[in-house]
Amino acid sequence: MTTMTMGRLFVISAPSGAGKTTLLSRVMARIPGLAFSVSHTTRMARPGEKQGVDYHFVSKPEFLTMIDAGRFLEHAEVHGNLYGTAKSGIRQQLEEGLDVILDIDVQGAAILRRTGQMAAAYVFIAPPSMAELEKRLRGRGTESEDRIQLRLQNARQELQAAGEYEYLIINEDLAETADLLGAIILAERARAHRLPSGKPIGSVAG
């Protein structure tokens, strides 16, 4: 008996400045069959970010209209901005057999976990220390002092939620951390009787 192979959803959370974006870029370039879920947000694009690639940048009224229409799997307010994950895009990617990386904060992850709308593997990426996190945030050179302090305050709260995740990764060395996250993805594929490429192991069926 054969069944259509569904992709796996990976919920990835990390405090701002933990190096999540760089880490995910490295892992996705290395492992085939991965897709990135592009979230909607009301915040302004940062230098280098592209519409529809990094985020779907929308106005607050447009975002609120999407909430009223029930189009979000989850949504939350973070650092004064709204973020949300549209249902339709993720479901389509999973049905195509792709493993989907969903980059959301701990609030959004808690909503998904509580509602159980989609099965997922939950991964938390933490910085080596708060001192290192502050160093990375200041190194960006794009944040005001008030924003840095807000992000540090939020990071302390987010780290308290790390125990709710199945996997916890400390991003001290980027190469080692990328290897570990890649191993988690491949292990989840093996658990679902899929090859490292993401394709089903046909000989197991029947």
Q: What is the pLDDT of residue 144?
A: 82
pTM over cut 0.95? no
d(CA 82, CA 96) in angstroms, rounded, equals 29
Q: What is the pLDDT of residue 4?
A: 58
Write out the E strands in the chain: 9-13, 34-36, 40-41, 56-57, 72-78, 81-86, 99-103, 121-126, 167-170
Q: Per-domain residue ranges for the chain?
A: 9-37+97-200
Sequence-distant (≥ 6) Cβ neighbours of residue 137 within 8 angstroms? 16, 17, 143, 148, 151, 152
Instruction: Tell which CATH classification among 3.40.50.2300, 3.40.50.2020, 3.20.20.70, 3.40.50.300 matches the domain 9-37+97-200.
Output: 3.40.50.300
Instruction: For the beta carbon of residue 178, count every other beta carbon within 10 angstroms.
Output: 21
Tell me, letter by letter, the H, E, C secondary structure of 83-99.
Answer: EEEEHHHHHHHHHCCCE
CA dihedral 188, 190, 195, 201 (to 10 degrees): -130
d(CA 159, CA 127) in angstroms, rounded, equals 9
Q: What is the mean pLDDT of each run of 10 residues along the chain (206 residues)?
A: 74 90 93 92 92 92 95 87 89 92 90 89 93 82 81 89 95 95 96 91 58
Q: What is the pLDDT of residue 2?
A: 42
In this structure, what token pair is assigned to residue 140?
A: 């960006």
d(CA 42, CA 122) in angstroms, rounded, equals 25
Q: What is the pLDDT of residue 143?
A: 76
Sequence-distant (≥ 6) Cβ neighbours of residue 184 within 8 angstroms? 121, 123, 167, 169
Instruction: Classify burial at 106, counting beta carbons within 10 Å of its beta carbon; exposed 0-12, middle 13-18, buried 19 or more.
Output: buried
In this structure, what token pair is assigned to residue 27?
A: 């892992």
